[in-house]
Amino acid sequence: MIKRYHKNSIFQFRYLSPIYALIFIVLSVDLVSAQHISDTVKIKPIEVYANKVIKEQAGKTTTEIDSISMIKALTSNLSELIMQNTPIFIKEYGRGAMATASFRGTAPSHTQVSWNGISLNSPMLGMVDFSAIPVYFTDNISLLHGSGSLSEKSGALGGVVKLENSTDWQNTFSGRLLTGIGSYGTKDEFFQINGGNRKVQSQTRAFYNYSNNDYQFVNKFIADIDPKTGNYLYPTQRNENSQYENYGLLQELYLHPAEKSILIIRYWYQHNDRSLPRLLSNETGNAANINRQTENAHRPVAEWKYYGKKGTLSLTTGANIQLLNYQLKTKISGAADQLVINSDSRSASYLFKAIYSYKFSGDFSIVTGANTEINSVYSKNSPLNGELQDYDRQRQDHSAYVQLSKSFNDKLSANLLAREDHIGGKFTPFIPSAGIEYHPFRDKGYFIKGNLARNYHQPTLNDLYYIPGGNPRLKPEEGIMADMGTGYSGANGNMTFHAALNGYYSRINNWIIWLPTPQGYWEPYNMKRVNASGIELNTGFSGKIYTIDYHINGNYAFTQSINRDDPRNWADESIGKQLPYIPKHSSNILINLSRSGYHVTWLWTYYSERFTTTSNDKTSKLDVLYPYFMNNLFLGKEIKLNRKKLDIELKVFNLFNEEYRTVLQHPMPGRNYSLLIRYDF
């Protein structure tokens, strides 16, 4: 039964405890969508549910972000989409600033991001800035949780975020224009044009995004004292020197030269230019400590696929080249700017990958793959009145794997995977993975699955060679990961529904952490062990009630990431404590209702408290970031013009003007707005 709420009930969700949020999510589901795979013609997708066991996925936990969430986030970056629709925690350093991911309680470098087969992770830092990836440049986004990521690559101790693009071979000419304005002088412009036939398809996308980003906030890290009352007086300040400008181009060319082969060529260029907001405790004038970061990224990819009678061969080559400049300067009246830090870096990854899959029969298949990745980093820092600090390093990573998948009957499937890596001239220990999935009842909608795997994550080139602080003695991080899950999907009349509950446990030895040194700089060390465990719940349903189409999707995650290192001294209070900035509870809900072209979407996100210290102290406001609830409301109208569509949408972010932080001393905006107009032709 669906409970009906009064008008003020939406406001009440702001105060839901995690327990009530969990109860609500249990009543909701994720759409199960089927993908159409063809070597000749791709039809437009339709939403269905299916209970067929896919043996290659047996035991793996995967999440696909549905089409409704994707279309609502066209003008967003990947960090906003992930935060609102998945159990991954995103740590934002401010609006428009860097955003990193914590997948299953792991570090940002433990989440791998791939785009059409190439890694977007920087070989220098090992992580991805999710705020720098526009959702508009991808068509499908899926998550491979934990051990399920080994079919993509090793090292993803948290998981893999897969970004993929596709085309419609039946398209002759189509496109999309999108323009938007918003609070803080924000401007969004998006353009896409597609054309071709069944032999050739071209897709061109471009975007431009700018914002003054000068929102106001109350600074509770600086205060005066009222001489009469003795109360603290906190100033209202403006987020100055924080503007950003981003633009990019994605060109794709799909060629169908023969009946059984496809050639795809892609090139993605992007420019990001942003000022980095200062800490709340900074009491210097606006002319001091101005941070600015500029990045240019080039990502060419070529992929060839051949479809045989029983086998498929895929060859991919590509590169991820990132040019980064960071400056810290102070403006001086009547003189040239004083450049305190001027840092340049060039990181590049070149990939060569081959995958061959073969079906011996309908219930037995094999997939083999091999890849080579050549990584290089040149990092140069020119501090004021200091010596040049730089390093120039390369590393070759080679990997090969084989996966066997077998369906023993229509109820039981299993797969075995074995991977071997050769990193920097050394072989890693053997990396195995085993998964099983069982459908015990005649109704195949109910399933039980499990997976057990080993994994290794190599130190980044900054971890090893950064000056000052790099530690070439670091050991690779070693993880033992176990997953167990159950779920059900099905339909009742015109309603489809799905629910999945997964539990996981990871024991990660030699965890790499950067700590301050007596010399005044930071240096990475290996911690003895970190235990990461938790549960993930994903549920939802969709259908139609009278004339109203509805879609509800929800996620909840309980995450424990506990330090099991040996004490470093007698006063070390970090042992047995939650790692900093990782919330124990997080959840999100998406509700979309539509009728006669009108549509309304409500996005609700919750994060529990996060500690800023390894000892989990609560003695001051610097030690803990308090829980927050985030509510976003979208209202729109779609107008059909023959085969064209015009959509006008008003977006209200932070509906209840919540005061919150995701990183200490980095302010986030209050209630703000955006008006978008989308034209599809």
What are residue 521's DSSP bridge partners? none
Ranges of each domain in the chain: 22-680
Q: Where are the beta strands (DSSP E) in 109-185?
A: 111-115, 118-119, 140-145, 159-164, 173-182
* pLDDT on residue 28: 34
Say whether 50 sits in a helix, a strand or coil.
coil
Lowest mean pLDDT among 18-27, 525-534, 663-672: 18-27
> Does the pLDDT value for residue 322 go beyond 90?
yes
**What is the pLDDT confidence band of residue 571, given thresholds at 50, 70 and 90?**
low
Lowest mean pLDDT among 49-63, 230-244, 285-299, 619-633: 49-63
Lowest mean pLDDT among 219-228, 404-413, 522-531: 219-228
Query: What does the alpha-carbon distance between residue 472 and residue 160 come to, in Å, rounded to a whole number?
Result: 27
Lowest mean pLDDT among 3-17, 153-167, 256-270, 441-455: 3-17
Q: Name the pTM for this structure.
A: 0.88
* pLDDT on residue 515: 85
**What is the pLDDT confidence band of residue 614, given thresholds at 50, 70 and 90?**
confident
* pLDDT on residue 566: 82
The better pLDDT of the pair 445, 634 is held by 634
Residue given tokens 């339909």 in the structure block: 491
* pLDDT on residue 52: 54
Q: Give tens-digit pLDDT for 371-419.
A: 999 999 999 988 777 778 889 999 999 999 999 999 998 899 999 999 9
The better pLDDT of the pair 47, 280 is held by 280
* pLDDT on residue 43: 39
> Does the pLDDT value for residue 476 go beyond 70?
yes
Lowest mean pLDDT among 410-414, 559-563, 570-574: 570-574
The mean pLDDT of 429-433, rounded to a whole number, is: 94
> Does the pLDDT value for residue 547 go beyond 50?
yes
* DSSP symbol at 22: H
Distances, alpha carbon 238 to alpha carbons 97, 209, 276, 662, in Å: 16, 21, 14, 18
**Span between the terminal Cα atoms of the chain, in Å:** 40
The mean pLDDT of 495-515, rounded to a whole number, is: 94
> Does the pLDDT value for residue 487 go beyond 50?
yes
* Percentage of the residues of the chain whose pLDDT score is greater than 90: 68
* pLDDT on residue 88: 93
Distances, alpha carbon 159 to alpha carbons 55, 104, 144, 153, 406, in Å: 20, 8, 5, 10, 24
The mean pLDDT of 219-225, rounded to a whole number, is: 84
* pLDDT on residue 398: 96
* pLDDT on residue 232: 87
Angle at alpha carbon of residue 126, lines to 122 and 128, rounded to 5°:
65
Lowest mean pLDDT among 456-470, 472-486, 557-571: 557-571
**What is the pLDDT confidence band of residue 216, given thresholds at 50, 70 and 90?**
very high
Say whether 9 sits in a helix, a strand or coil.
helix
Q: Residue 349: how many CB atoms within 10 A of its CB?
A: 24
> Does the pLDDT value for residue 92 go beyond 50?
yes
**What is the pLDDT confidence band of residue 517, given thresholds at 50, 70 and 90?**
confident
> Does the pLDDT value for residue 572 go beyond 90?
no
CA-wise closest residue to 149 among 213, 63, 208: 63
Q: What is the dihedral of CA 512, 515, 517, 523, to 10 degrees?
A: 40
* pLDDT on residue 227: 86
> Does the pLDDT value for residue 9 go beyond 50?
no
* DSSP symbol at 465: H
The mean pLDDT of 495-517, rounded to a whole number, is: 94
**How much is the mean pLDDT over the chain?**
88
**What is the pLDDT confidence band of residue 198, given thresholds at 50, 70 and 90?**
very high
The mean pLDDT of 203-221, rounded to a whole number, is: 93
CATH of 22-680 among 2.30.130.10, 2.40.170.20, 3.40.1080.10, 3.30.360.10: 2.40.170.20
* pLDDT on residue 21: 35
> Does the pLDDT value for residue 36 go beyond 50?
no
Residue 78: phi and psi, rounded to 5, are -65, -30
The mean pLDDT of 148-165, rounded to a whole number, is: 94
